[in-house]
């Protein structure tokens, strides 16, 4: 692990270095050679950058994960008509905010004569563009980095819950698993042999995950990552096939859900759409960055279509029985049990990629302060502590749907909706924006803020209610015994 040189220069105990990595540095590592500011090909095109198709694949990879599998429940919370319409609107706004981020990065890069900027750096230089914020500009970068850390560690918490829930279900249904996928008429995996609590499954996964994040270089995981992408794609195709061929008729599901559940929809949806962290690194690494806008529109168009289609079809298929991940609703046959295990393998490998971002932001400044003989030991210790921390959070809230909604509401709403419009106002402060554009930006940020407040409150409220209900059920079972 390389320590940040900025720490030695400043001599200050900062958790955030100036050259912080991004999620796409994990998904699409930089080629060897000069540091990013010196690689002019990233801005003007050249032989070393990624092609149109490679960039499109990375964009899809950075946006499709566990959030997609939770969207059928999100549609249930919003309603069969309101849910897809809301997903479409949210997709349009999310893509618009991604485009704002790219435009602001271009504008500020030209101003300060740098080939590229990260999300945090764009916010920092945007604040420097406003005289009364200039003194505090470093906090703009630190704030963005903080939310990136929260988001990525939140993803890791979701992965722990997802792995434990799906493996637990496969184990408990193992004795009843058959080759016939039509045996279960309710489209639910019947739990026939109860096993131990899902939180114990998380502890079982903990040593394997710790060893996974000890990987010294992500290039060693590249073959496994490729296999993971293939099996996750195959799993999604089978999930679509089952859902499409098992929609009951007539469909009597509510067109509009309960108002009190809509904030949960918002949290899950924005969790799924939170791919804004990959946008600037992808554009910076492209062979012809001028074509990135087309990549963005095509890629996010495909992503939005997948979100709306699976969310709607999944809800239509399983109705009110839909749970936090559609995989948990799949029938009790070997084909779909294999789907769960294959998707779990993909998520397990993806854990290392998501963990890369907070680890590279938090660990190098600490390692830089210890002697060289202790660097590796401290690095591995901090990685272990971070993984244990995410596992502990998952154990505290072992509810997949609520964890997804909470992470989306708390951090994704800031990165995807609140910060980009504010950044445009800051970046173009001296040039001046029309009142209409300023009003539009204020509305988008306000929607994100309301979603953050309402989504966080409702998610925490549901977590408390569900835990108290489980506690009361446990007490009742003891009293009966």
Which range of residues forms the domain containing residue 319? 52-180+193-471
Provide the percentage of residues in the chain whose pLDDT is more than 90.
Answer: 52
Alpha helices for 246-374 (secondary structure H): 262-273, 279-284, 292-318, 334-367
Q: 460 in a domain, yes or no?
A: yes
Q: Which residue has the higher pLDDT, 188 or 200?
A: 200
Residue 26: partners with Cβ closer than 8 Å, 6 or more residues away: 218, 352, 353, 354, 356, 357
Q: Which residue has the higher pLDDT, 324 or 18?
A: 324
Residues 249-270 have a mean pLDDT of: 92
Q: 3 in a domain, yes or no?
A: no
pLDDT at position 191: 53
CA distance 165 to 214: 25
Q: What is the CATH number of the domain that holds 331?
A: 1.20.1740.10
Residue 80: partners with Cβ closer than 8 Å, 6 or more residues away: 251, 253, 254, 255, 312, 315, 316
Q: 15 in a domain, yes or no?
A: no
Q: What is the pTM of this model?
A: 0.82
pLDDT at position 466: 87
Residues 216-225 have a mean pLDDT of: 79
302 HSE (CA, 13 A, CB side): 14
Residue 248: partners with Cβ closer than 8 Å, 6 or more residues away: 317, 319
Looking at the predicted structure, is the pLDDT value of residue 310 above 50?
yes
Q: 429 in a domain, yes or no?
A: yes
In the numeric block, which tokens belong to residue 222?
Answer: 């590249």
- pLDDT, one tens digit per residue, over 24-73 is 444 444 433 444 333 333 343 344 678 888 888 888 887 888 889 999 99
Q: 105 in a domain, yes or no?
A: yes
Q: Count of domains in the chain?
A: 1
Alpha helices for 334-433 (secondary structure H): 334-367, 375-396, 400-407, 413, 419-427
CA distance 315 to 69: 11
Q: 322 in a domain, yes or no?
A: yes
Query: What does the angle CA 161 – CA 144 – CA 386 come to, to the nearest 5 degrees?
Result: 40
Length of the chain: 481
CA distance 47 to 59: 20
- pLDDT, one tens digit per residue, over 431-467 is 888 999 999 999 999 999 999 999 999 999 999 998 8
Query: What does the angle CA 398 – CA 401 – CA 404 come to, to the nearest 5 degrees?
Result: 90
pLDDT at position 177: 67
Q: 325 in a domain, yes or no?
A: yes
Looking at the predicted structure, is the pLDDT value of residue 423 above 70?
yes
pLDDT at position 290: 85
Looking at the predicted structure, is the pLDDT value of residue 145 above 80?
yes
In the numeric block, which tokens belong to residue 428?
Answer: 């173009």
Q: 37 in a domain, yes or no?
A: no
pLDDT at position 72: 95
Residues 76-82 have a mean pLDDT of: 95
Looking at the predicted structure, is the pLDDT value of residue 172 above 60?
yes
Mean pLDDT, the chain, rounded, equals 84
CA distance 246 to 472: 36
CB 48 within 8 A of CB 41: yes
Looking at the predicted structure, is the pLDDT value of residue 210 above 70?
yes
């Amino acid at each position: 692990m390389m320590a940040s040189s900025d720490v030695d220069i400043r001599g200050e105990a900062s958790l955030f270095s100036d050259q912080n990595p991004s999620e796409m540095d994990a998904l699409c590592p930089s080629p060897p050679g000069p540091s990013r500011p010196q690689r002019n090909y990233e801005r003007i095109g050249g032989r070393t950058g990624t092609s149109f198709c490679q960039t499109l694949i990375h964009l899809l990879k950075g946006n499709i994960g566990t959030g997609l599998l939770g969207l059928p429940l999100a549609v249930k919370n919003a309603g069969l008509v309101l849910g897809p319409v809301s997903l479409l609107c949210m997709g349009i706004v999310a893509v618009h905010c991604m485009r704002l981020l790219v435009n602001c990065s271009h504008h500020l890069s030209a101003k300060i004569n740098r080939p590229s900027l990260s999300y945090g750096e764009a916010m920092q230089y945007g604040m420097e563009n406003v005289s009364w914020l200039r003194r505090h500009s470093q906090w703009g970068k630190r704030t963005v980095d903080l939310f990136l850390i929260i988001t990525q560690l939140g993803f890791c918490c979701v992965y722990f819950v997802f792995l434990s829930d799906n493996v637990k279900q496969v184990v408990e249904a193992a004795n009843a698993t058959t080759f016939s996928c039509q045996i279960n008429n309710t489209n639910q995996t019947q739990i026939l042999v109860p096993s131990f609590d899902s939180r114990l499954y998380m502890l079982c996964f903990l040593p394997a995950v710790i060893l996974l994040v000890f990987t010294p270089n992500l290039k060693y995981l590249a073959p496994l990552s490729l296999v993971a992408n293939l099996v996750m794609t195959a799993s999604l195709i089978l999930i679509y096939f089952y859902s499409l061929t098992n929609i009951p008729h007539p469909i009597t599901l509510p067109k509009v859900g309960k108002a009190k559940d809509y904030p949960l929809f918002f949290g899950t949806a924005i969790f799924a759409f939170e791919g804004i962290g990959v946008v600037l690194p992808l554009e910076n690494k492209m062979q012809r960055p001028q074509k990135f806008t087309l990549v963005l529109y095509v890629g996010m168009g495909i992503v939005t279509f997948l979100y709306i289609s699976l969310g709607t079809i999944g809800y239509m298929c399983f109705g009110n029985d839909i749970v936090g991940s559609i995989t948990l609703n799949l029938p009790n046959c070997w084909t779909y049990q294999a789907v769960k295990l294959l998707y779990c393998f993909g998520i397990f490998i993806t854990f290392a990629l998501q963990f890369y971002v907070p680890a590279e932001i938090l660990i190098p400044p600490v390692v830089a302060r210890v002697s060289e003989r202790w660097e590796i030991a401290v690095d591995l210790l901090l990685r272990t502590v971070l993984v244990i921390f995410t596992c502990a959070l998952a154990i505290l809230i072992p509810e997949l749907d609520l964890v997804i909604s909470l992470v989306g509401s708390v951090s994704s709403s800031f990165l995807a909706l609140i910060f980009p419009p504010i950044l445009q106002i800051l970046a173009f402060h001296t040039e001046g924006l029309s009142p209409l554009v300023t009003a539009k930006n204020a509305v988008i940020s306000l929607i994100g803020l309301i979603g953050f407040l309402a989504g966080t409150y409702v998610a925490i409220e549901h977590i408390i209610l569900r835990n108290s209900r489980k506690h009361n059920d446990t007490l009742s079972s003891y009293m009966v015994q």
